[in-house]
Structure 1
Amino acid sequence: MSDITHARVFKIALPIVLSNATIPILGAVDTGVVGQLGLPAPIGAVGIGAVVLTSIYWIFGFLRMGTTGLVSQAHGTGDRGEVSAGLMRALLIAVTAGLALIALQVPLFWAAFKLAPASDQVESLARDYLQIRIWGAPLTISLYAFTGWLIALERTRGVLVLQVAMNALNVGLDLWFVLGLGYGVQGVAAATLISEIGGVAIALWLTRSAFANGLWRARAIFDRLKLTEMARVNTDIMIRSVLLQASFTTFLFLGARQGDVTLAANQVLLQFLQITAFALDGFAFSAESLVGQALGARSVLRLRRAAIVSSQLGIAMAVAIGLVFWIAGPAIVDIMTTAPNVRIEARAFLFWIVLAPVIGGPAWMLDGIFIGATLSREMRNAMIGSVLVYVLSLMIFVPIFGNHGLWGALMVLNATRGAMMGRLYHRAEAKALRAAAVFGARLQPG
């Protein structure tokens, strides 16, 4: 197994960063092509439909993280059969969940429009959009599994190829279906569905080695202990992710109480956090892969080296992003909005965005380390504790400092997450030690 170097980490991280950079382009094209129809309703329908499905599919994001952690450990152990079986189990969950969403689409969409009501015209068009897109549910969720598997094996170039190919196909079909054939909102939905079919076809090709290995079949996939471990890890990660999303949702709702201008400014500034996430994801994913492999290899030294090297680059990137926001932040704000009052308001809170990557960087990297080590229970508990501190911070800071208090509480959330997980890092090394001890005991003559 090759040495863990900064170059190796960067080789894993860069394709993820580039892949993430393509994501906003697709949303812009979807909005742009329906915008050419000259009517507001199609734009609103595509926006609402996309948000509804993104919110539903986001729940299954645990499948990407859980697959990366478990498969990277199997890869580090050298168990090719389990590497393949790990993907099959994840795909089994993905297809089952996707079919369930198709079966439950009527009550799901009814609930979505109750929570986010729209005009009759927008809702009608949004339903047309959703009724096409929902058939891609098994495909979309399966892509989480494929992506997690590729990251576990350090094949992030494959992730980049997959993302770019899907987006390129989607954009091309958007232009053809909407502008060329005049299919409108339904054309946007059909373009996305076809791109998902194409994406799964590419993913199957990229992961073909998993299907060529006959060791994964039947008994390996349905191994009770492996299924139980997978269920535990994925459940913990899902709880952690739901709590994190709830924290950001609370931030948005409380920001809305500060007035329309402050709400708009916060929305602009949150795009900076999105940029931060896209940039740091690559280094967090490298930690997931390398830490998992080190744990599978039962090497405490390799695990420590993976954690340190990936974190060094991740934190360096966080500091660099903070500096860019400090220098270019006002200009970026001006690009994002032309409203003078929103620009002034956003600049008043811009220093929080400069601090955010540095404060949140450790939490991002520790997430990757803990996913690789499958310390999902520790992640979940740290998230629960951090949310409690966050809620207390909101109760104290917001009434006194208003929107500054809101941003300060968000920084407290990320700082607390980093501190709590940092205190539990030793459990990753202890887990590797226990695995080495068990393996050594098995080698002893009976």
Structure 2
Amino acid sequence: MSTATVRPFEVTHRGVLAIAIPMTLAYLSTPLVGLVDTGVIGQLGDAALIGGIALGAVIFDIVFTTMNFLRSGTTGLTAQAHGAQDRTEVDASFFRALIVAVAIGFAVLALKDVILEVALSLIGGSEAVQAATRTYYGIRVLATPFALINYVILGWLIGLNRAGLALVLQTVLNGVNIGLSLYLVLGLDYGVAGVGWASFAAEAVTAAVGFFIAFGLIERMRMPHRGVILDRGALIRMIAVNRDIMIRSFALLFAFAFFTSQSAAHGDVVLAANQVLMTLFFVGSFFLDGMATAAEQLAGRSVGARYRPAFDRSLKLTVGWGFAIGFAASLVFWIAGPAIIDAMTTNEAVRETARLYLPFAALTPLVGTLAFQMDGVFIGATWSADMRNMMLLSLALYVAIWWMLTPLLGVSGLWIALLVFLGARGLSLLWRTRARAAMAFPGGG
């Protein structure tokens, strides 16, 4: 690799935090939407309506988690073009991903009835709950193209190291959603439909704001022409990266669904207790996701710049900060866990069971730190095949540990299997980093 292609840049603690802090705030604001939606519907006093929102949210969580590659894949490809100082490719990455997002968005709309019926047949629920779900889903699904476009814009901004603008977008999205939910449900008495329309409006408004921001950053006089955007090699690469990330996302969804199903096999009390405890892990993940996003941008930029010292430095700093966050989260959960459990449920049997397995749940942020950070590195560097393979390997290990330990240790065996899964993901990716970095930076960058 010619030294002329190397574009050195400095990676500092301040630079890492400048990405991580805004993105952490953005991720933390997302759960507020669900809380407000549930809260405003709860004011109507009909349990079926709350259940309808909950079932609808599950459907959209599955759809949008599956399509998250539009965000992460765009970040990696954009960050690499940014590191290579190839402005044409930066903008082309945006338009390529946009085409895919729009195509998938309208495909979901075309299949929306099929998706709903399949989901309801699998999830179940009473007639009243399913009726509420149909109303909510039928409105919110119309926003799918806007939602996927927002994924692309968000990923593109992160790849450009514009975390502040990414935070603005998330603030608009969640702010409009919360404000309209309160107004349409409590003010205009629209019920479940009001929550659906609030989500639709929020996605549409955010897409409009996002386009305004994006086209303000794109150099109009140097816009990539159609041949560059539709370049066959670039499209194949984007599709391959997105495919691998989607498989990885499916595997992750399966891992958590498997944990839930196996918890249910031990009875309602264990299921409820484990769901309460998993909330701790998901809260911790919001903090870790911000630092993982910093790893995405900096690793991708380093690969694009062909500069190994920046890659090594970004790996060291993001993993170091990640472990500090993971340790702090685990410590908080360990100390405050009993009080959090009591605040989340009034059922004494569930409280007692949750306290029994709290030590396992408290360890999840710390044990999972390396997995979050290495995911960020591999997404940014677009080493997606390795990330997919290590995820599948870790998943197989997870099931094997569960199969061996659960007959001996019961629910504790399930928790140990989950911790092994989290740890194996991080360690296996760290193991692959040396070989991948040697290929990406021949001669040391």
SS in 1 for 2:90: helix
Aligned residues of 1:298 and 1:436 also touching (Cα < 8 A): no
1:346 aligned to which of 350, 354, 372: 354
| Mapping 1:177-326, distance limit 5 Å | 177-208=184-215, 209-210=217-218, 212=220, 214-326=222-334
Query: SS at the partner of 2:311?
Result: helix
TM-score, normalisation: structure 2: 0.95
CA contact (8 A) 2:83 2:303 kept: yes
Residue identity matched to 2:80 = Q
Residue 386 of structure 1 corresponds to 394
Contact 1:74 1:293 survives alignment (8 Å): yes
**Residue 354 of structure 1: how far off its partner (Å):** 2.3
Asked whether 1:395 is paired with 2:407, we answer no
Deviation by residue 1:72-127 (Cα, 9 ceiling, x = unmatched)? 00000000011011011111111100100111111111111111122222222211
Counterpart contact for 1:64–1:147, Cα < 8 Å = yes
Asked if the contact 2:9–2:310 (Cα under 8 Å) also holds between the matched residues in 1, the reply is no
Which residue number in structure 1 is paired with residue 121 of structure 2? Answer: 114
Gap runs ≥5 in structure 1:
438-446
One of 13, 32, 36 as aligned partner of 1:25: 32
| CA positional deviation for 1:176 | 1.6
1:286-339 superposed Cα distances (whole Å, 9 cap, x missing partner): 011011111111111111111111111111111111111122111111111122
Cα distance in structure 2, aligned partners of 1:78 and 1:213:
17
For the residue of structure 2 that corresponds to 1:347, the secondary structure is helix
- The amino acid of 1:56's aligned partner reads V
Q: Is the 8 A contact 2:330 2:366 kept in 1?
A: yes
Q: Is the 8 A contact 1:63 1:144 kept in 2?
A: yes
SS in 2 for 1:349: helix
- Cα distance in 1 for partners of 2:219, 2:297 equals 21
SS in 2 for 1:425: helix
Relative distance call for 1:196 and 1:211 in structure 2 (3 A) is farther
Pair 1:409-2:417 in alignment: yes
Amino acid at match of 1:73: Q
In the alignment, the residues of structure 2 paired with residue 182 and residue 291 of structure 1 have an alpha-carbon distance, to the nearest angstrom, of 48
CA distance in 1, matches of 2:439, 2:209: 36
1:298–1:435 Cα contact (<8 Å) kept: no
| Matching of residue 169 in structure 1 with residue 169 in structure 2 | no
Which amino acid in the other structure matches residue 176 of structure 1? Answer: Y
SS of 1:71's equivalent in the other structure is: helix
CA displacement at 1:186 relative to structure 2:
0.9
Deviations 1:26-45 (A, max 9, x none): 11111111112221221111
Q: CA deviation at 1:394?
A: 0.9
**Aligned-pair Cα RMSD in Å:** 1.5
Preserved CA contact (<8 Å) 1:87 1:149: yes
Gaps of 5+ in 2: 1-7
Aligned to 1:75: 82
Q: Contact (CA 8 Å) 1:81, 1:213: kept in 2 or not? A: no
The CA distance in 2 between the partners of 1:357 and 1:127, in whole Å, is 36
Match of 1:440 in 2: none
Task: Provide the residue aligned with 2:430 in structure 1.
Answer: 422
1:216 partner SS: coil
CA distance in 2, matches of 1:435, 1:228: 28
Deviation at 1:2, TM superposition (A): 4.9
With over 3 angstroms needed to count, the CA separation of the structure-2 counterparts of 1:211 and 1:272, relative to structure 1, is farther
**Count of residue correspondences:** 437
Q: 1:435 to 1:152 in 2, by over 3 A?
A: farther
Alpha-carbon distance, 1:435 to partner = 9.5
| Contact 2:394 2:424 survives alignment (8 Å) | yes
CA distance in 2, matches of 1:276, 1:411: 14
State how far apart, in whole Å, the 1-side matches of 2:274 and 2:115 are: 29
Q: Report the alpha carbon displacement of residue 139 of structure 1 after superposing the two structures with TM.
A: 0.7
Q: Equivalents in 2 of 1:211, 1:44: separation in Å?
A: 47
Report SS of the residue matched to 2:266.
coil
Which whole-Å CA distance do the structure 2 matches of 1:53 and 1:433 have between them?
40
Separation (CA, whole Å) in 1 of partners of 2:41 and 2:181:
9
Instruction: Give the TM-score normalised by structure 1.
Output: 0.95
How far 1:284 sits from its partner (Å)? 0.7
Q: In terms of mean alpha carbon deviation, does 94-103 or 49-58 score higher?
A: 49-58
Given that 1:45 and 1:123 are in contact with CA atoms closer than 8 Å, whether structure 2 keeps it comes out as yes
Amino acid at match of 2:438: A
> Partner letter of residue 52 of structure 1?
I
Check the 8 A contact 1:68/1:289 in 2, yes or no.
yes
> 3-state DSSP class of the match of 1:115?
helix
Rounded to whole Å, the distance in 1 between the matches of 2:221 and 2:385 is: 32
Counterpart in the other structure of 2:343: 335
Q: Which residue of 2 aligns with 1:360?
A: 368
Q: Counterpart of 1:13?
A: 20
Partners of 1:87 and 1:210 within 8 A in 2: no
Q: Percent identity?
A: 41
Q: Does the Cα contact within 8 Å between 1:284 and 1:364 map onto a contact in 2?
A: yes
Counterpart secondary structure, 2:228: coil
Aligned-pair distance for 1:211?
6.5
Paired with 1:236 and 1:39, the residues of 2 have a C-alpha distance of 42
Read off the aligned partner of 2:18 and give its amino acid letter: K
Q: Partner amino acid for 2:200? A: L
Q: CA deviation at 1:415?
A: 1.3
Once the two structures are TM-superposed, the CA of residue 18 in structure 1 deviates from its matched residue by 0.9
Correspondence 1:129 to 2:166: no
